[in-house]
């Protein structure tokens, strides 16, 4: 009798254990899902895409600025919308951090999108998710790859100026410092190289590449000279130059082609192709845009999963600039 019962129950016990472990695992690993808003706000994704496409049509650089907002959000406290919070007399946000001050843009576009989705579905779509979707739609609008965006992030009620200053990589970093700053966020050296391809779009300020164009030797000399006119040795700190000198408004693999010809704008860019461990990956992306696109898409999805607030943590802000 007892042995019969054991024979029958063993598979059921095993099944039960597997099911239980599965349920626990899915509860424990903060779950994001592509269908998070399918029933709560079915028009959210198309609304965001329409707004991003319109904003990028008016100002191509906006695609770059929105992509960068998602990066600067995710690297500071995780992807929680903390980058969007304004300073007030009683609250210190991240906007005046060294990498962000007079540099981040696109906040008005995020406000417009937030107002639209608040009308459609009040207090449902987080600011952090808006950034993740806007980043994808921006890349697509500029000719880059698409990917499925994981959703369900919630918004922080806090921000960290000090983490924004310490956790975002510097344009003066060495290759090993870049690798460490990404590895601190759970991203590999290879993902760092793929994510850096975001510099195929957008602009940078003279103050951040001046030393490179006057003092560095691993730079194409006519490229350096051509940049000096608009970036004198003193003054013109805020003058802009494209990160990808070849195709500034197109999301393609020319960033890597430039690196191979020593035309990286930032010191940190050229570090990826300077005789070190990233050279072979840069070479490969420079001649194979499909592999760059595919690796970039996977790496952005991974970056987008850095420490999200889920479940009942955090909140859904009604205004991305302030906590509720």
Question: Which residues participate in catalysis according to the annotation?
Answer: 72
**Residue 68 binding result from ligand HEM, ligand NAG, none, given CB thresholds of 5 to 8 Å by partner type:** ligand HEM
**Residue 61 binding result from ligand HEM, ligand NAG, none, given CB thresholds of 5 to 8 Å by partner type:** ligand HEM
- Rounded to a whole number of angstroms, the minimum distance from the CB of residue 72 to ligand HEM is 8
By C-beta, is 116 or 203 nearer to ligand HEM? 203
CA 84/CA 321 separation, integer angstroms? 5
By C-beta, is 41 or 179 nearer to ligand HEM? 179
CB 194, CB 295: distance < 8 Å: yes
Binding region for ligand HEM (CB under 6 A): 61, 64-65, 67-68, 71, 103, 105, 169-171, 173, 178, 192, 195-196, 198-199, 201-205, 208, 243, 266, 268
CA 216 to chain centre: 28
User: What are all long-range contacts of 281-286, with beta carbons under 8 Å and residues at least 24 apart?
Assistant: 281/190, 281/193, 281/194, 282/193, 282/256, 283/256, 285/193, 285/194, 285/197, 285/253, 285/256, 286/253, 286/256, 286/257, 286/259, 286/260
By C-beta, is 157 or 308 nearer to ligand HEM? 308
Q: What is the CA radius of gyration of the chain?
A: 22
State phi, psi for 214 to the nearest 5 degrees: -105, -30
Binding region for ligand NAG (CB under 6 A): 96, 101-102, 210-211, 214-215, 233
- Rounded to a whole number of angstroms, the minimum distance from the CB of residue 27 to ligand NAG is 41
- Rounded to a whole number of angstroms, the minimum distance from the CB of residue 210 to ligand NAG is 5
**Residue 171 binding result from ligand HEM, ligand NAG, none, given CB thresholds of 5 to 8 Å by partner type:** ligand HEM
Closest CA to 150 of 267, 249, 30, 60: 30
């Amino acid at each position: 009798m007892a042995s019969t019962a054991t024979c029958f129950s063993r598979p059921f016990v095993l099944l039960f254990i597997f099911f239980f472990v599965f349920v626990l695992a899915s509860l424990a690993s903060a779950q994001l899902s592509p269908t998070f808003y399918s029933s709560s706000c079915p028009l959210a994704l198309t609304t965001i895409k329409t707004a991003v496409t319109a904003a990028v049509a008016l100002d191509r650089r906006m695609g770059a600025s929105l992509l960068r907002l998602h990066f600067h959000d995710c690297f500071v406290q995780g992807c929680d919308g903390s980058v969007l919070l304004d300073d007030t007399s009683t609250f210190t946000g991240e906007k005046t951090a060294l990498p962000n001050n007079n540099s981040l843009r696109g906040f008005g576009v995020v406000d417009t999108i937030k107002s639209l989705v608040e009308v459609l579905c009040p207090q449902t779509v987080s600011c952090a998710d808006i950034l993740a979707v806007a980043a994808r739609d921006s890349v697509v609008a500029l000719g880059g790859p698409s990917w499925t965006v994981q959703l369900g992030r919630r918004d922080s009620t806090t921000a960290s100026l000090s983490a924004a200053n310490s956790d975002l990589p510097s344009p003066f970093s060495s290759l090993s410092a870049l690798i460490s700053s990404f590895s601190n966020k759970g991203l590999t050296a290879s993902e760092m190289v793929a994510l850096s391809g975001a510099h195929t779009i957008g602009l940078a300020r003279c103050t951040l590449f001046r030393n490179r164009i006057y003092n560095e030797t691993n730079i194409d000399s006519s490229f350096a000279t051509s940049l000096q006119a608009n970036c004198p040795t003193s003054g013109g700190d805020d003058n802009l130059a494209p990160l990808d000198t070849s195709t500034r408004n197109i999301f393609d693999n020319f960033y890597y082609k430039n690196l191979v010809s020593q035309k990286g704008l930032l010191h940190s860019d050229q570090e990826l192709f300077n005789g070190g461990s990233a050279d072979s990956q840069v070479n490969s992306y420079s001649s194979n845009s499909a592999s760059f696109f595919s690796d970039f898409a996977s790496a952005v999805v991974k970056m987008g999963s850095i420490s999200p607030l889920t479940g009942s943590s955090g909140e859904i802000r009604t205004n991305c600039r302030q906590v509720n």
